[in-house]
Amino acid sequence: MTEQTPRWLNPDERRVWLRLSALMELLPAALDAQLQRDADLTKTGYLTLAMLSEEPTRSLRMSELGARSNASPSRISHVVSRLERGGWVRREKSPDDGRGQLAVLTDAGWDKVVASAPGHVERVRQLVLDPLEADDLARLDAVVVKLLDVLDPDARFAATALARQV
Amino acid sequence: MTEQTPRWLNPDERRVWLRLSALMELLPAALDAQLQRDADLTKTGYLTLAMLSEEPTRSLRMSELGARSNASPSRISHVVSRLERGGWVRREKSPDDGRGQLAVLTDAGWDKVVASAPGHVERVRQLVLDPLEADDLARLDAVVVKLLDVLDPDARFAATALARQV
DNA sequence: CAAAAGTAGTTCAACGTTGAACTATATGGT
DNA sequence: ACCATATAGTTCAACGTTGAACTACTTTTG
């Protein structure tokens, strides 16, 4: 029999939850602020460029790009449009599938990633990697894997699939 | 001497970081979706009502409310305006400080929290508390405390101050 | 091979957030 | 007391995201 009446949070749970809520608000905001200021890019915009830059072909289907950038179809479409306006990305029809679109990183887009990556990576180090011991990092990773497993049971997002392979 | 050239992420770091990025995208989105659907509230809107409901006076200064809801002054002002429009909160002049405003939870607002809390708490359990062992939770907490310490060194937000007391 | 169902991606309007500029009040130094 | 500075909160316009509705193409099924 599952417990039907909602179980309230005990003080320990409440504390963890409030802290985690704060983290989920503050960490993305801090990273967005850095990228906005230094590169005029959103976190998702940056990640999108980064993901494209790691492909041998420097291109990816919209849906795959969304999966890697943690973005819904609607969102990735907007993000790519914005990047396209900036000249960092262009769209191409997919050769295999008439419905499909390819997002292709332009040369300017490549330069953009190269230019903005160091500053962003440095900020990620400052805020996340450096404050944690190797142990902490491993534990955090294990916890995050468990949470992603529940959040994204069908592994629609690349990070969840990654979690299951490794 | 600090390392000046930007240090790139090694594969382990990259993996943790990509997973954490996905978590920071997916978890807030999942909770926002639940609150939006079931209570027509944002995560911050809910948290704002919840924080007020825990005060003996059912009221809080705008700035303190922002600190507890992880919201900037601008944001908390908008959030309270929206809640005010819904009739869940009203504004009062602060008696002590002519610049100050008090956000006061109305009776309807109280009922609103009471009505929406169980569903939200249940979702938090499903997505965060239940998938983790007690050990995991303690480790996660320790890590989050360290990260908040860096993100919010002056403890402007209540969760960071909480992290330092306990 | 036709009809139905599914998949890929885009567009729309509504909404919430952002950072900057601004108003009003309070505090500290001389 | 006075002026400069700091603090509290709001408003504005610009922007990014959301979910629903929609178009176009593809796959499945009978």
A4 pLDDT band (50/70/90 cuts)? very low
CB of A142 under 7 A from strand C?
no
Q: Which residue is nearest to nucleotide D23 (CA to C1')?
A: A99
Q: Do A47 and B127 touch (CB under 8 A)?
A: no
B90 - beta bridge partners? B104
Q: From CA B39, how far away is CA B113, in angstroms rounded?
A: 9
Residue B4's pLDDT is what?
47
The neighbour count for residue A38, using CB atoms within 10 Å, is 15
pLDDT tens digits, one per residue of A93-118:
999 999 999 999 999 999 999 999 99
Positions of chain C reached by protein Cβ under 7 A: 6-12, 16-21, 24-27
Nucleotide nearest to B71 (CA to C1'): C17
**B interface mutation test: which of A5, A20, A141 has the most B CBs within 10 A?**
A20
Q: Per-residue pLDDT for chain B (166 aa), expressed as one digit of tens each?
A: 444 455 688 999 999 999 999 999 999 999 999 999 999 999 999 999 999 999 999 999 999 999 999 999 999 999 999 999 999 999 999 999 999 999 999 999 999 999 999 999 999 999 999 999 999 999 999 999 999 999 999 999 999 987 666 5
Structure tokens at B44: 């911050």
Q: Do B26 and A151 touch (CB under 8 A)?
A: yes
Tally A–B CB contacts below 8 A. 176
* Average pLDDT along chain A: 93
Task: Determine the distance between B61 (CA) and D6 (C1') in angstroms.
Answer: 18
Return the DSSP state at A60.
E
Region A13-17: mean pLDDT is: 95
Q: From CA A6, how far away is CA B53, in angstroms rounded?
A: 18
